[in-house]
């Protein structure tokens, strides 16, 4: 009985050893790799740039001899129309009555054109009128305050027509052209994409802006470009930061692989195509690229599998073991 038990144990140990030898011979020397399938998909080739939402604005001041603020009709954040009176100085009502009186007299032929224009100018200098529609920002006066001629008292921003200023690195500027589409994302709306179109590119490089201000310690030069919104203008607000991608190439049904599938061998870009338990080295003829994937122009077919890990351990004909 004891002898039989020892015999069974011995045979079991031999079996395990033989199994290990078989496994080693099958998988021995094999490189563990992850693989993906080559597929047809849309690809956008882009150039990344930083950007900030901008809007035209006007700083409004007091004309004439200045005066004391007698009435303020708006607060910061209020929407105003073009031609709306925002501030009246003391004496505005008197100037308004005088202008109305001379206007009537002029229509009857009892006042000159010069008198009428002088009265109109006095009225305009007695108040602050917005030349554009927009939102009031930076209100810098209080009721009863004395203001000097030319002193900025308020800013109006045209929020109905925002645009984006992007900064393109000088190494990428040769790829950028007026009319190209731009894709925007922002931290405030992480699940949304917005699009615009380049309408102007500065001809001269400048220092990079950070947080909307030029950084004198920045060494890299950038070219600024203006991008008009195609959508999103009602959502994105002035001074919001955006991440911009200028679309320099676009293709439907492109044969694509992840960037991780591209290796360098003997100075050439190559891909390792999975054929059974081995890989075949194929020279990569690249087309459009984005941040994650690249188009392959020749050498691959839709549905093939390629290695995306341990590429530095592979060579043509190398044995592999596919892992997840």
Q: Are 66 and 148 in contact (CB under 8 A)?
A: yes
> What's the pLDDT score for residue 24?
44
Strands 206-207 and 79-80: unpaired
> What's the pLDDT score for residue 324?
87
> What's the pLDDT score for residue 291?
80
Q: 60-89+129-157: what CATH class?
A: mainly beta
Q: How would residue 255 be classed by pLDDT, with cut points 50, 70 and 90?
A: very high
> What's the pLDDT score for residue 6?
55
**pLDDT higher than threshold 60 for residue 306:** yes
Give the single-character DSSP code of 319.
B
Identify the CA nearest to 235 among candidates 175, 185, 180: 185
User: CB count, 10 Å around CB of 146?
Assistant: 12
> What's the pLDDT score for residue 29?
77
Identify the CA nearest to 61 among candidates 144, 6, 138: 138
Give the rounded distance of the alpha carbon of 290 from its chain centre: 15
Instruction: Transcribe 137-186 into DSSP letters.
Output: E-----TT-EE-TT-EEEEEE-TTS-EEEEEEETTTGGG--TT-EEEEEE
- Taking all residues of the chain, what is their mean pLDDT, rounded to a whole number? 88
User: CB count, 10 Å around CB of 151?
Assistant: 14
Identify the CA nearest to 271 among candidates 319, 305, 235, 227: 305
Model pLDDT for residues 58-71, shown as the tens digit of each residue: 999 988 888 999 99
User: CB count, 10 Å around CB of 71?
Assistant: 14
Model pLDDT for residues 95-107, shown as the tens digit of each residue: 999 999 999 999 9
* Adjacent-strand bridge partners of 210: 213
User: CB count, 10 Å around CB of 229?
Assistant: 20
Give the rounded distance of the alpha carbon of 204 from its chain centre: 21
Asked if the domains at 29-43+252-322 and 47-55+160-250 fall in one CATH topology, the answer is: no
> 177 is written with which tokens?
């052209």
Q: 29-43+252-322: what CATH class?
A: mainly beta
Q: How would residue 23 be classed by pLDDT, with cut points 50, 70 and 90?
A: very low
Name the more confident of 271 and 29. 271
> What's the pLDDT score for residue 234?
86
CA distances from 233 to 48, 109, 193, 199, 227 (A): 21, 50, 12, 16, 11
Structural domain boundaries of the chain?
A: 29-43+252-322, 47-55+160-250, 60-89+129-157, 92-125
Q: Are 151 and 60 in contact (CB under 8 A)?
A: no
pLDDT (mean) for 38-57: 93
Q: Are 306 and 35 in contact (CB under 8 A)?
A: yes
Q: Which fold, 47-55+160-250?
A: Elongation Factor Tu (Ef-tu); domain 3 (2.40.30)
> 176 is written with which tokens?
């950028």
pTM over the 0.75 mark: no
Instruction: Transcribe 218-236 into DSSP letters.
Output: ---EEEEEEEEESS-TTTS
User: CB count, 10 Å around CB of 92?
Assistant: 20
């Amino acid at each position: 009985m004891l002898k039989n038990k020892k015999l069974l144990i011995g045979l079991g140990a031999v079996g395990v050893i033989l199994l290990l030898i078989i496994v080693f011979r099958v998988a021995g020397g094999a490189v563990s790799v992850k693989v993906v399938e080559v597929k047809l998909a849309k690809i956008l080739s882009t150039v990344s740039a930083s950007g900030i939402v901008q809007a035209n604005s006007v700083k409004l001041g007091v004309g004439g001899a200045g005066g004391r603020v007698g009435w303020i009709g708006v607060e910061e954040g209020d929407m105003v129309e073009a031609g709306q009176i925002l501030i009246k100085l003391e004496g505005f009502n008197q100037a308004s009555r005088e202008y109305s009186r001379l206007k009537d007299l002029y229509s009857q032929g009892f006042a000159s054109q010069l008198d009428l224009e002088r009265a109109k100018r006095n009225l305009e200098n007695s108040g602050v009128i917005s030349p554009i529609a927009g939102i009031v920002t930076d209100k810098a006066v209080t009721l009863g305050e004395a203001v000097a001629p030319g002193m900025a008292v308020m800013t109006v921003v045209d929020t109905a027509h925002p645009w984006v200023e992007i900064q393109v690195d000088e190494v990428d500027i040769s790829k950028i052209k007026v009319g190209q589409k731009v894709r925007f994302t922002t931290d405030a709306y992480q699940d949304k994409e917005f699009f615009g179109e380049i309408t102007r590119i500065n001809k001269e490089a400048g220092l990079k802006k950070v947080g909307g201000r030029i950084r004198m310690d920045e060494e890299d030069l950038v070219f600024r470009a203006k991008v008009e919104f195609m959508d999103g203008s009602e959502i994105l607000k002035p001074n919001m930061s955006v991440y911009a991608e200028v679309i320099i190439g676009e293709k439907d049904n492109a044969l694509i692989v992840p960037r991780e599938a591209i290796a360098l061998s003997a100075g050439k870009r190559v891909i390792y195509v999975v054929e059974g338990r081995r890989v075949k080295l194929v020279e990569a003829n690249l087309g459009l690229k984005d941040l994650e994937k690249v188009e392959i122009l020749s050498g691959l077919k839709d549905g093939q599998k390629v290695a995306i890990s341990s590429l530095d351990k592979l060579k043509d004909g190398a044995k592999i073991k596919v892992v997840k």
